Structure 1
Amino acid sequence: MVSLFAPAQIEMFSEAVMGTVEKTISQNQPGRVKCLGSYWPARFYHSNCDVIVFIDEVVKVVGRQGITMLVVPVSSIKTD
């Protein structure tokens, strides 16, 4: 099936904002964050990020793609 919609453009923020993980995020699993006073779907900005961020951990929110926030871990556990 052919998609009629192009993927949303990535919009980078001029300054990162801090967010709190509400649903665990890993390399192959998008999650959810609370930032800017609301809850958002979230995934890692770098697709090769090999860490896991767990509930209540803090992440940097550096941009968005559609309604999905793009995050960078602040401190996490490597999966290897």
Structure 2
Amino acid sequence: MRVISIRCPRCHHHVITAKNCTMSDMMKEITYTCQNPVCGFIFVASLKQATEWLASVRLHKQSRQISGRSRALYPADRKPS
């Protein structure tokens, strides 16, 4: 898993997470503090989910395996009778 690395917007030094606040299932506000003692800048960043395209692909694959038979999820996937 990749770790998100954020730098201070003022001095570009490393920052640490001071506080997390979950706003919803799809959004967080994260408070960061600069580790440069001369700067000490504190800022809040928002982290939100942008898309769900991977989840929908997984759902589509799972729907085809229900009860051991193929089941179309979308009308375009249905076979003509």
* Fold agreement, TM-score > 0.5: no
TM-score scaled by structure 1? 0.25
- Relative to its length, the structure with more strand (as a share) is 1
- Relative to its length, the structure with more helix (as a share) is 2
Q: Which has the higher contact order (CA 8 A, sep 6+)?
A: 1
Greater Rg, structure 1 or structure 2?
Answer: 2
TM-score scaled by structure 2? 0.25
